[in-house]
Amino acid sequence: MGKDRVLSGMRPTGLMHIGHFHGALKNWVALQAQHECFYFVADWHALTSHYDDPRVIERSTFDMVTDWLAAGLDPQQATIFLQSQMPQHAELTLLLGMITPLGWLERVPTYKEQQENLKEKDLTTYGFLGYPLMQAADILVYRAQHVPVGEDQVSHLEITREIARRFNHIYGREPGFEANAAAAVKKLGGKAGKRYEALRTSYQQDGVAEAVDEAKALLAAAGSLSAAERERLEAWITGARRTILPEPHALLTPTSKIIGLDGRKMSKSYGNAIDLREPPASVEKKVRRMPTDPARVHRHDPGNPERCPVWTLHQVYSSEKTREWVWQGCTSAGIGCLECKQPLIDAINAELAPMQARIAEIEAKPGYVHDVLASGCARARQVAEDTMRDVREAMGLAKP
Ligand code: TRP
Ligand code: SF4
């Protein structure tokens, strides 16, 4: 058996920050050795909400892939590619649109939420409503088993599973299945054929489970059938259909969420992020400016780390020993906040230094990222095309 296939994507809407690293990228890197991983730049997805920002998408695409590689993604192990170079995603989005009820899309929670959050943008577009459908196509076109995502994407995985189920239900039969099955019954011969029909009725109308076993034994004993015919009749008795698009599973990213500098979720749109490319002096400045427990107005006021965004960063970056020192020092007013922040500044800079060195190396090789994406696209295309052949055939699209 081959390795399980993993697929995930990220929207190129700005530079990668430490929230992306701890919330997703680190996990992508960990998965690449054990699984067949496909990671892509979701530039069409970025356009659904940032359609008036094309230059940002263009620039972010190459910077983002550079950051992925610097964070440890290995193009020898993982397939790294660009969504907009893959017409199969668009084709599958179109075809799945035929069977996706509008209500399914309208009730995805992120649809209303995002429209609320991004009030300054007009998101009453067809593309924005179709976002989860396009995401379903991204996943199903690779028949991926696992999709590493954060909590916020779970509803998109759910609709992906529903769409796959509906697709298999409607199209999971070979063309002419009924006629072929009837022909195979005839080939079984008068007596065996009649018995098969009786068993099929007894299973389908009365749910007699033993009828399936008896029919299988009967088919196994029948010398007149080819293997394909036998398989077809085994499937026909239960009404089973072919699984053309398997249902994927969410692989919830385990790491805790990195909190932004202002205590909200870290996000480039809130301007509260530390980028992977952040120079050390800027890391220092940003962390030193971070708000702390509001109760610590003066140096001698004790604080409560639970009410301090700096503490959430210590939980990701600091050893148990340092965390004990913080807890003790904070609650007893034994240390000041700037003192508390110093080990954090050092830890973040220590984590970023090798990545920034790799970014410089990659950027010194012009064309390198282009080449990584081009060969990733070529590899991804083979898998996607395999799926599309089955999908087109199942949906009655003739090959001239
Ligand atoms: N919607 C995802 C996000 O905003 C990005 C994405 C697009 C994706 N297509 C995907 C993630 C397919 C996983 C699988 O983060
Ligand atoms: Fe926050 Fe540290 Fe200050 Fe306590 S000492 S309030 S944990 S920054």
Q: Read off the pLDDT of residues 161-205 as tens digits, 9 standing for 90 and up.
A: 999 999 998 998 776 778 888 899 999 888 999 999 999 999 888
In this prediction, residues 76-104 reach a mean pLDDT of 97
- Cα 31 from Cα 26, distance rounded (Å): 9
CA 296 / ligand 1 centre spacing (Å):
40
Ligand found nearest the CA of 48: 1
Whether ligand 1 lies within 6 angstroms of the CB of 138 is answered as: yes
pTM: 0.84
pLDDT number for residue 138: 98
Q: For the chain, what is the domain count? A: 3
Residue 273 falls inside a structural domain:
no
Residue 399 falls inside a structural domain:
no
Whether ligand 2 lies within 6 angstroms of the CB of 337 is answered as: yes
Q: Which of 290, 298, 337, 339 is the best mutation target for the ligand 2 pocket, counting ligand atoms within 8 Å of the beta carbon and taking the most?
A: 337
**Domain check: are 47 and 117 in the same one?**
yes
Q: What's the token pair of residue 369?
A: 């990222």
pLDDT in tens, 262-318: 888 888 777 889 999 999 999 999 999 999 999 999 999 999 999 999 999 999 999
pLDDT in tens, 342-361: 999 999 999 999 999 999 99
Ligand found nearest the CA of 305: 2
Flag whether pLDDT at 9 surpasses 50. yes
Q: What's the token pair of residue 104?
A: 């399914």
Other CB atoms within 10 A of residue 124 CB:
8
pLDDT number for residue 1: 47
Could you tell me the CATH number of the domain that includes residue 339? 1.10.240.10
Q: Whose CA is nearest to atom 7 of ligand 2?
A: 305
**Domain check: are 297 and 372 in the same one?**
no
Residue 72 pLDDT class (50, 70, 90 cuts): very high
Q: Whose CA is nearest to atom 8 of ligand 2?
A: 337
Q: Which domain holds residue 389?
A: 5-171+248-257+366-394
CA 244 / ligand 1 centre spacing (Å):
22
**Domain check: are 73 and 151 in the same one?**
yes
**Domain check: are 382 and 347 in the same one?**
no
Nearest partner of 267 among 43, 12, 18, 74, judged by Cα: 18
In this prediction, residues 55-67 reach a mean pLDDT of 95
Residue 141 falls inside a structural domain:
yes
Q: What is the DSSP letter of 32?
A: T
CA 82 / ligand 1 centre spacing (Å):
13
Q: Report the mean per-residue pLDDT for the chain.
A: 92
**Domain check: are 48 and 156 in the same one?**
yes
**Domain check: are 51 and 154 in the same one?**
yes
**Domain check: are 157 and 29 in the same one?**
yes
Could you tell me the CATH number of the domain that includes residue 121? 3.40.50.620
**Domain check: are 126 and 10 in the same one?**
yes
- Cα 376 from Cα 11, distance rounded (Å): 17
Q: Which of 5, 47, 79, 138 is the best mutation target for the ligand 1 pocket, counting ligand atoms within 8 Å of the beta carbon and taking the most?
A: 138
Sheet holding 146-149, edge to edge: 79-82, 36-41, 5-10, 146-149, 249-252
Whether ligand 2 lies within 6 angstroms of the CB of 296 is answered as: yes
For the CA of 327, the closest atom of ligand 2 is: 7
**Domain check: are 115 and 137 in the same one?**
yes
